[in-house]
Amino acid sequence: MSAQRLLANEPLGRFSYVGLLHWNHGPDGDRSYDAAAQLYREQASRPIHVLVIASRPDRLEQLGIVTPCDAFSRRQLASRGVPSEAIATIQTDGNDDWAVAQSLKRWLAAHPDDSLALMGNAFRTAALRSALNAVLDRDQSTRVRIRPLPDRRFNETNWWKSRDGYKAFGWNWLLGCYRKWIGSSGSISANVDCDHYEAEALRSAPPTLPHTDYVLVLNGDENTRPFAAAALVRSGQADRVLITETKPSPHAQELGLPPTHEINRQAMIHRGVDADRITILPAQATTTYDEARALATFLESHPKARVLVVTNDFHVRRSRWVFDRTLGEFTWQITFVSAPSDDFSTSRWWRTEAGFLAVGTEWLKQAFYFAYYGYLGQWLAACAALWMIATRIRRREINRHPA
């Protein structure tokens, strides 16, 4: 499978705006602000602007835990010589390429004389182009040219040599398959109200959930997991909180973005958990295995502690498998709790791109874990199951929408 098919690299020609995508509290693509500032300086002979395209404010932004996209981008660009008056921001209604395309359609209609050099994560650019072509009219589509931003850790020739590389490849390959088989499908519009989400998290928890000494928040999806854990602590299901220290990426460090574990800690403090009830487990973790090992070390000095482990619903199966293999005699002391996903329903995950990608990449990760940490037979079975599920989804959608 060639990664070259994931790239859209188009000649920029003349343009009046540089477009930056902003997801998950940071720009989409490595060294995004550096590249935007460079293009701005290269076009000094004629005035251009930078257009920041951001998703709607999420819980973390509403609580002030992370800096809102507009303020963050203006600060980063200003430090690179781009004045504030040369920066504009538009907000999308969702968290996917279709929401970006719809927002750009409105923006292009309001700016008929402008064109855009749109930059983003290299492996995502082909999928982004497919969404733009489907939503924009022909004139609008030609006014948007895409420039992929290479990742410092891997490229289309060596992606398979690193964990981050094959994660990026697998995610975008699955996205391409979904659009080829199913077509377009947006995400569910999530209710970002904290009280509403935490009430839903408590309703979805097992009624027989035991009281425990600790709740461990697995890092990832900081807009759901710490809020579910905070609800459990406030409801009396757990007394204290454990969060595993994470290793920040070089790009995040350069931009001054807080590490994931600190975002989780701040989210829980904002939702009523006292700071002195939160313990950070030293680990510099990058995987679920690292987090399991950190908990195993902690339990060696707390042999009678009971722990609730909070992660997203689609992530529970692999997490339980990892923790069972890692904790050994301490396995009986942990209980998993599912944090509901924001952008899709797990009962109909195949109906949206967000659900398909979350569950599909989880299957790929599980296959990798079985192969790397487990047994070859299990890995082959997981691959076969993934293929069967994808085939069934395609047949179901064809039957629902016959030609």
194-204 and 225-234 are packed helices; what angle lies between their axes, rounded to 10 degrees? 70
88 strand-pairing partners: 51
pLDDT of residue 186: 58
Domain total of the chain: 3
Task: Report in angstroms the alpha-carbon separations of 354 from 157, 172, 196, 348.
Answer: 27, 12, 21, 11
Q: How far apart are CA 244 and CA 213, in angstroms?
A: 16
Return d(Cα 183, Cα 380) in angstroms, integer.
28
Whichever domain contains 318, its CATH number is 3.40.50.620
∠ at Cα 364 (362, 369), nearest 5°?
90
Q: Which domain holds residue 233?
A: 194-339
Residues 314 and 211 in one domain: yes
Say whether both 45 and 106 belong to one domain. Answer: yes
253 and 348 share one domain: no
One-letter amino acid for residue 203 of the chain: R
| pTM: predicted TM-score of the whole model, two decimal places | 0.86
pLDDT, tens only, 14-52: 899 999 999 888 899 999 999 999 999 987 677 899 999
Beta strand pairing call for 17-23 and 26-27: antiparallel
pLDDT at 70: 92
Helix, strand, or coil (residue 202): helix
- Say how many C-beta atoms besides its own lie within 10 A of residue 82's C-beta: 23
Same-domain check for residues 254 and 172? no
Q: Give CA separation, 203 vs 199, 238, 272, in Å.
A: 6, 16, 19
Tokens of 73: 């981008």
The pLDDT of residue 202 is 94
If DSSP codes are grouped into helix, strand and coil, which group holds residue 53?
Answer: strand
- Residues 148, 10, single domain; the answer is yes
Spell out the alpha helix ranges (H) of 56-120. Answer: 59-62, 69-78, 97-110
What are 61-107's pLDDT values in tens digits? 999 999 999 999 999 999 999 999 999 999 998 888 999 999 999 99
339 is written with which tokens?
């944090």
Q: Is there a single domain that holds both residue 327 and residue 236?
A: yes
Q: Are residues 148 and 159 in the same domain?
A: no
* Distance between CA atoms of residues 152 and 30, nearest Å: 7
What are 84's two structure tokens?
Answer: 């504030």
Distance CA 282, CA 382 (A): 32
Shared domain for 158 and 80, answered yes or no, is: no
Position 350 scores a pLDDT of 82
Boundary-marking domain end, from 284, 304, 339: 339
Question: Quick check: 127 and 6 in contact, CB under 8 A?
Answer: yes
Neighbours of 51 (CB within 10 A): 23
What gap in Å lies between CA 205 and CA 284, rounded to an integer? 29
Say if residues 264 and 217 touch (Cβ distance below 8 Å). Answer: yes
**DSSP classification of residue 246:** E
Q: Which of 296, 315, 339 is the last residue of a domain?
A: 339
CA 60 to chain centre: 14
Task: Please say whether the beta carbons of 349 and 321 come within 8 A.
Answer: no
Question: Helices H, strands E: what count in the chain?
Answer: 15, 11
Tell me if 185 sits within 8 A of 401, measured CB to CB: no
Let me know whether 245 and 368 are in one domain. no
- The single-letter code of the amino acid at 79 is S
Query: In terms of domains, do 327 and 366 share one?
Result: no
> What is the distance between the alpha carbons of residues 224 and 315, in angstroms, rounded to a whole number?
13
**Same-domain pairing of 60 and 101:** yes
Q: How far apart are CA 180 and CA 176, in angstroms?
A: 6
pLDDT in 10s for each residue of the chain, 403 residues: 578 899 999 998 889 999 999 988 889 999 999 999 999 998 767 789 999 999 888 999 999 999 999 999 999 999 999 999 999 999 998 888 999 999 999 999 999 999 999 999 999 999 999 999 999 999 999 999 999 999 998 999 999 888 888 888 988 988 888 888 877 665 556 677 999 999 999 999 988 898 999 999 999 899 999 999 999 999 999 999 999 999 988 888 888 889 999 999 999 999 999 999 999 999 999 989 999 999 999 999 999 999 999 999 888 988 998 999 899 889 999 999 999 988 888 788 888 888 888 888 887 777 666 666 665 556 566 666 767 777 777 677 666 666 5
Residue 133 buriedness (CB in 10 A; 0-12 / 13-18 / 19+): middle
In a shared domain, residues 29 and 117: yes
- 293, 319, 339 — which closes off a domain? 339
- The token pair that represents 181 in the structure block: 């088989």
Burial bucket for residue 140 (CB in 10 Å: 0-12, 13-18, 19+): buried
